[in-house]
Amino acid sequence: MPASPTSSIFSKTSTRTMSISSSRHDVHQDETAELAERGYFNENTAPAALERHTALARAFINEHAAFGRRVVLVTSGGTTVPLEKQTVRFIDNFSAGTRGATSAEYFLEAGYAVLFLHRQFSLLPYSRHYSHATDCFLDFLHEASDGNVVANDQYREKMVKVLRQYNSAKQQNLLLTLPFTTINDYLFELRVIAQLMRPLGPNGLLYLAAAVSDFFVPPERMVEHKIQSTNAVEKQTGKGKDKSDHTPGQDEEAFDNFDSSPEVPRSKRLIVDLDPVPKFLKNLVDGWAPEGMIVSFKLETDPEILVHKAQYSLERYQHHLVIGNLLSTRKWEVVFVTPQAKNEWVRVPRHRRKNALDGIEDMVGIAAKSAEVGYKPLEMGDLAEGEPELEIESLIIPAVQALHTSHINKVEKI
């Protein structure tokens, strides 16, 4: 159940400074958020797996809450936007889940229990080292003379390390992986898990790295069957013909996908009409997980607006940390935007950057320059040449962990 507007405003952990005008504004924002929530979850159908996932998440969270352990919900990968109820076509995005899967490993290393809410078939902690199309696990193995399958010499050390970490997380029940596919699955799962995390109080951390679609087709506008690209069925059966919509001559036009002629009539185009997805960060902050620490990500492609958009998001939702990243440099630098501190850049030193096919290294530093005149970005100390490649998540997670410790201390003092 969502919290009432009044209770959320006076929530113990709220970081906002109250004034009469801002509280009125907050009440309005809370009411809008609550209406959006009620509307969305009433009008859309819960995913079939929700009940099972809820039971698994509840048992996992309660077990770790009993030990007083920190639990992080890591969201990861992209959400799909189906265009048909019996879905053949959907809109998707670029995210492979690298940020989420890598972060989950470093959270486990830092002693957290990790609930990993991820896009089905996207990268998973530990297996990510061997499951990507460019790192096919079969290339790491060979058949020995005795018929056993063994790791190739040059990879064995790393494989053993990864395997031990994976088995240790599994044996201690420190990692629960739950999949989603559509934007709707994601929103239902996020709400339920965030609410289940309440008993953790400030020990709960929500780390929202999933690339969530901002637009969707609402159920009342979604067609049941595969959208047709030709009117061949209509012509034979008369099915779907709406006489009021008849434009003389148009429905006689024969057209199929194999006809690439420039004569393709405008009426045969597919126009997709999407509604905005309600931004549930407000509900998350005030109602679903009011004591937990909330970290959201802000992804942009334009360096000129990244820091501004991250600051705007923090002001609007009043949570604890926004991590800004650019699509082209996300593997090498991010910016931490918090209410307490100046923006801080976390950056992988040049000679320890892993080559990323989808990155543009020359763009590193541009967003910092655009945002702050004369600001000296935080670089890691110089490291000797030849050191191994560094994953940026190995720098992000300890920094998030330190902020989480301050958050816990602050809440416990109140």
> In a 3-state reduction of DSSP, which class is residue 400?
helix
Q: Which is nearer to ligand PMT, 61 or 187 (CB)?
A: 187
Distance of CA 96 to the CA centre of its chain: 10
Cβ-based burial of 182 (10 A; exposed 0-12, middle 13-18, buried ≥19): buried
Contact between 61 and 115 (Cβ < 8 Å): yes
374 φ/ψ angles, rounded to the nearest 5 degrees:
75, 5
| Smallest distance, ligand PMT to C-beta of residue 49, A | 20
Nearer to ligand PMT, 72 or 211 (CB): 211
Contact assessment for residue 335 and residue 306, using Cβ atoms and an 8 Å cutoff: yes
Cβ proximity to ligand PMT: between 40 and 65 the closer is: 40
Residue located via tokens 């990243």: 325
- In sequence order, the β-bridge partners of residue 298 are 324
* Cβ contact 177:126 at 8 Å: no
Residue with tokens 């009125």: 24
Give every CB contact of residue 230 below 8 A, 6+ residues apart in sequence. 255, 256, 257
The least CB distance from residue 54 to ligand PMT, in Å, is: 19
Task: State how far the Cα of 112 lies from the Cα of 93, in Å rounded to an integer.
Answer: 29
Closer CB to ligand PMT, residue 169 or residue 323? 323
Shortest CB 285 distance to ligand PMT, Å: 10
CB of 148 to ligand PMT, least distance (A): 35
Between 330 and 353, CB nearer to ligand PMT: 330
Residue type for position 247: T
Nearest approach, Cβ of 75 to ligand PMT (angstroms)?
Answer: 6
Q: Give the nearest distance from C-beta 398 to ligand PMT in angstroms.
A: 17
Of 96 and 169, nearer to ligand PMT (C-beta) is: 96
Contacts of 107 (CB under 8 A, 6+ apart): 72, 74, 114, 207, 397
Residue 35: closest CA among 319, 318, 282, 315: 282
Residue 258 C-beta: closest distance to ligand PMT, Å: 35
DSSP element (H, E) containing 333: strand 333-337
Amino acid at position 137, single letter: F
Residues 6+ apart with CB under 8 A from 71: 60, 61, 64, 65, 112, 113, 114, 115, 197, 200, 203, 204, 205
Q: Which is nearer to ligand PMT, 26 or 393 (CB)?
A: 393
The DSSP element (H or E) to which 414 belongs, if any, is: none
Contacting positions for ligand PMT (CB under 6 A): 95-99, 208-212, 214, 277, 279-281, 296-299, 325, 330
What is the nearest approach in angstroms of ligand PMT to the Cβ of residue 215?
9
Q: What's the closest the beta carbon of residue 21 comes to ligand PMT, in angstroms?
A: 26
When the beta carbons of 65 and 117 are compared against ligand PMT, the nearer one is: 117
Is the CB of 102 or the CB of 203 nearer to ligand PMT? 102
The token pair that represents 100 in the structure block: 């989420």
